[in-house]
Each structure stands twice: as structure tokens, then as C-alpha cells.
Structure 1
Amino acid sequence: MNMIDMETDEKIRRNRAKTTQRIVEALEEVISERGLEGVGVNRIAEKANVSKVLIYRYFGGMEGLLEYYVKMGKLFPVFTPATLDQIRPLHDSDVARIWYRQVIQTYRYFRTFKAAREVLKASVIENDSIAETTARAQDEEMTRLVSQLSFVKGADTQAISAVILGAMTYLTIMAQNDRTMINIDLRSEEGWQRIENAIKTIYISLNKMAVSSKDVQLELQSTRLPVAQW
């Protein structure tokens, strides 16, 4: 490949990246304005100022675009092997902090950004192909995240995570709908501080149980790397 061809290919890649970004930003705007039920290729194309044919070419349609959005790493972080090496617990008691920090930060993001909250609601929308695709992509990302952070062997981290993440998802949706739970005001920072403190208590208790159990092993760092502050 000559220099001109290489420069042309690079320009095409840059243009595609910029166009993709515009489409994603348009998607977020539409979701914020109309909810997941209000998204559509025509509406996204108009807001992004692109042809709807381009959206089909890049993503295969609305379902593909939403799946791409969920898997971008904005909703659920993607850790590189190097990052995971640093996150890996240094001491037995570090496991709780790693888990409750990630859960708290993830759901703070959902509470802060309306588009993210609307996407989270896909799990409770019935009989809708777009919602089904989005919910499936979310579950795949949650499964990946739990798998990456499962520094515990001998405990059912998937089931434990399903209970906690499911509860946090439900509470986040309830908060958007201006609901309370057990008389806790989910619209207030005070209410969410209580929820976050409860999450810390649960993980600290689970950590203590894991340390005292003969059937559970914790995967600690083999070298004394500093634990990443994320």
C-alpha cells in the first residue's frame, strides 16, 4: 500500500469515528428527551444530520446501535489486564472495598445521566424488540464486569451480584419515578447515602465470611502493587 492509499484509509477511519460519535451523541439526546420507547433510526439520523442508510451500514439498525452504545464501556467499565492486576486485592479485607466502590460508582453514573437511566429501564420494558436487545446487552456487560472482578473462588459471586445489582437497578428506576422504598426518599442525597452505606455493610460482611470460610479462596496480588484508586 502506497502513502496516498494509507492517508486515504486514515481519513476514512477518522471520518467514520467522528460520524459514529455524532450518532451516539444523537442517540443519547433522543433517549434523554423521549426515553427508550421513543428512539428510532429516522429520529437519530435527523438529529445527527446523517443519512439513516449510514446508521444501517454502521450498526445494522436501531438494535445494533443500542447494543454498540451499551458495550462502549460508558455504562459498565472495561478493565484492561494491567488495570485488573492493580485492582486485584492486596489484602484479604480489600475485596469488599473493590466491590462496593464499583457498585456505588456505577449506579451513581446511572443516577446522574438520564440517557443511562433510560437504558437501564430496558430490563423492565416488555414486548419490545429494542428493549430486549438492550437488556440482553446490559446483562452481558454486567456478567463480564462480575467475571472480571471475581477475585473469589468457592463462592457464588454471580448469584450474589445478581441480587445486589438487581436491587440497585430497581432502586435507581424507582428513584427516577419519584418513588420511595421502605420510607427512604430515593430522590434525596441523604436517601442514597443510606443505600450506599448499606451496600458497604453488605460487602464488608460478605468479605468477613469469605475470609473465615474454609471453602472460599481469595485471589490476592502476587506482588505488592499499589491498589488502583478508581
Structure 2
Amino acid sequence: MQTPIMDKDEKIRRNRAKTTQRIVEALEEVIAERGIEGVGVNRVAEKANVSKVLIYRYFGGMEGLFEYYVKMGKLFPIFTPSVLDQIRPLHESDIARIWYRQVIQTYRYFRTFKAAREILKASVIENDPIAETTARAQDDEMTRLVSQLSFVKGADTQAISAIILGAMTYLTIMAQNDRTMVSIDLRSEEGWNRIENAVKAIYISLNKMAIHTKDVELELQSSHFPVAQW
């Protein structure tokens, strides 16, 4: 049987979790309506129907709220050690599939949700503390994700990922602005199918190169569990 003190602590935790969720949902709505540069503590507090004091108490202000939002796992997946063990490639050729699936899924999410697309723009906004914090949090998450899913030693996976992820980020921003790239219509599904097929081809080629490069070592599963489908 729980003591009254334990009941009270649990109630406080649940209330904080619910309030945090309301604030995050309000943040998403304001971002979608006004863009990252139009977000302010008063607008978010009003949308969430909470005092702005709570935003400062929970997150330290808007910069902390944006950092929390980027790192909570909605934009970039957070893999536990057990999931990583399942994802680890079973065969040499699995690494390409792991990576192109992750890149394609991640940027499909960014293209689908306006608030997420607006978050990507933080990397091209200058002289704005919130944008700088948000861009830094995104880079931290991308760095973590690349580190978790590399499964490769002896290759510069960070530089390769910077090129691929940077290009996908830029193309996603261009798509929101109704632009084309090398005459590919980034507003159309046909255009993005071509982009995604190119991403697949790049990773498959890199995977083949890694297999035949003496200085590169691929980290495979030691067990015979199938590679997770995600």
C-alpha cells in the first residue's frame, strides 16, 4: 500500500508530465502557425493554457523548451542498447539498408509535419538565440544518431553523413518554399521518389566500397537474430 507521501509525489510527477505534454503540443502549434521566429513564451503559454512561469520553471525559458523538443525523440529516434543490438547488421550488405531507411524515414517525417520542417530552418537563421540553440540541439541529435548507427570502423562516417543529411535538410527546406533542384520538382511525390532512390543508390555504393576496402571494418551481429525492421 502506498503512503500518502508516495501518492502525493506520484500525483506531482503525473501532473508535471501532462503539463509538459500540453506545452510541447502548444509549441508545435505555434511553430506551425508562425514559424520558429514567431514563437514566444507568451504565445506558447496562452496556447497551452498555462502560466509562462511554468515554462521557465520546467525548461528555463524558450531556448530550453526548444532544446527539449528537439531531443525528446520525435524528430530523431532514440535507440536503447537492446534495440541497437537488434538493428546491428547481420550481413555486410545490411548496413546500406539500415542507413537509407533511417534517412528516408526521418526526412519523410520532416516533410509531413510543418512544425518539424520549421525546426529544420533553424540551421539557416542567423543572429537568433533560439535558432542557434535549436540548430545546436539538432546537430547533437544527428551526431548521436550517426554514432549509434555507423557500425563501421575506418571510414569517415561523420563526413559522409554531413553531406547526405545536409543535402536532405536543404532539399526539405527548398520543398517547403516550393522550389526545384536541378529541375526536380520537390513539391511532388515523383520528385521525392527520385531523391529517395538516389539516397538508396549512394548508400548501397558506399556499402560495397566499404566491403572491399582493407582499412574498413564492418561491425556485424555475432548472433543470428534477424535485423530489426523499422
> Could you state the TM-score of these two structures normalised by the residue count of structure 1?
0.99
Counterpart position of 1:139: 139
Counterpart position of 1:176: 176
* 1:19 and 2:19 correspond: yes
Distance in structure 2 (CA, Å) of the matches to 1:117 and 1:194: 20
Counterpart position of 1:188: 188
Counterpart position of 2:57: 57
What SS does structure 1 have at the residue aligned with 2:126? coil
What SS does structure 1 have at the residue aligned with 2:141? helix
Gaps of 5+ in 2: none
Counterpart position of 1:154: 154
Counterpart position of 1:110: 110
Counterpart position of 2:4: 4
Counterpart position of 2:217: 217
Distance in structure 1 (CA, Å) of the matches to 2:229 and 2:74: 18
Cα deviation digits, residues 83-108 of structure 1 (max 9, x gap): 00010000000000000000000000
Distance in structure 2 (CA, Å) of the matches to 1:5 and 1:203: 55
What SS does structure 1 have at the residue aligned with 2:221? coil
* 1:204 and 2:204 correspond: yes
Percent identity over the alignment is: 86
Distance in structure 2 (CA, Å) of the matches to 1:204 and 1:168: 17
Distance in structure 1 (CA, Å) of the matches to 2:171 and 2:13: 41
> Within 5 Å, which residues of 2 pair with 1:47-126?
47-126=47-126
RMSD: 0.5
Distance in structure 2 (CA, Å) of the matches to 1:98 and 1:51: 43
What SS does structure 1 have at the residue aligned with 2:223? coil
Count of equivalent residues: 229
Counterpart position of 1:165: 165
Cα deviation digits, residues 32-83 of structure 1 (max 9, x gap): 0000001000000000000000100000000000000000000000000010
How far apart are 1:226 and its partner, in Å?
Answer: 1.2
Distance in structure 2 (CA, Å) of the matches to 1:69 and 1:84: 23
* 1:226 and 2:226 correspond: yes
Distance in structure 1 (CA, Å) of the matches to 2:208 and 2:197: 17
> Could you state the TM-score of these two structures normalised by the residue count of structure 2?
0.99
Ranges of 4+ aligned residues in structure 1 off by more than 4 Å: none
Distance in structure 2 (CA, Å) of the matches to 1:22 and 1:95: 38
Residue identity in the other structure for 1:215: D
Cα deviation digits, residues 167-208 of structure 1 (max 9, x gap): 000000000000000000000000000000000000000000
Residue identity in the other structure for 2:150: S
Residue identity in the other structure for 1:26: A
